């Protein structure tokens, strides 16, 4: 007598896994107010050089940009001395 492998039946429909913003890589990167413009421009150039896409640059109310970041670049920015914060780039609506 041979043992049969156990089978598990899961009749629940499979749900597609939604990617998080970090997996999708689209973020808003905001620099500290006293950051030199050259530092922001260099960061933008680094994103593009590594295959990322800049979607919008901010310069009036805050310094920064929104971008699809290349893999691994998020961690690099987190340690940047001039970065104030990084957050998922989201659509904002008003009523």
Classify residue 46 by burial, with Cβ atoms within 10 Å: 0-12, 13-18, 19+: middle
6: left (phi over 0), alpha (psi -120 to 50) or beta: beta
Give the domain extent around 57. Answer: 29-88
pLDDT digits 0-9 by tens, 67-95: 999 888 888 888 899 999 999 987 777 87
What is the number of domains present in the chain? Answer: 1
Examine residue 21 and state whether it is found in any structural domain, yes or no.
Answer: no
pLDDT value of position 48: 95
What is the pTM assigned to this prediction? 0.69
Q: What is the pLDDT of residues 48-59, one digit of tens each?
A: 999 999 999 998
Give the pLDDT band (50/70/90) at residue 9.
very low
CATH number at residue 39: 3.30.70.80
68 domain residue, yes or no: yes
**All residues at 6 or more sequence positions from 30 whose CB lies less than 8 Å from its CB, including other chains:** 58, 62, 63, 64, 83, 84, 85, 86, 87
């Amino acid at each position: 007598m041979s043992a049969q492998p156990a089978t598990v039946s899961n009749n629940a429909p499979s749900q597609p896994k939604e990617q998080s913003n970090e997996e999708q890589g689209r973020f808003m990167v905001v620099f500290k107010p006293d950051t030199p413009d050259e530092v922001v421009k260099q960061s933008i150039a680094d994103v593009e050089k590594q295959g990322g896409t800049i979607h919008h640059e901010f310069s009036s109310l805050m310094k920064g940009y929104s971008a699809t970041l290349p893999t691994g670049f998020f961690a690099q920015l987190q340690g940047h001395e001039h970065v104030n914060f990084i957050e998922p780039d989201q659509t904002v609506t008003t009523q």
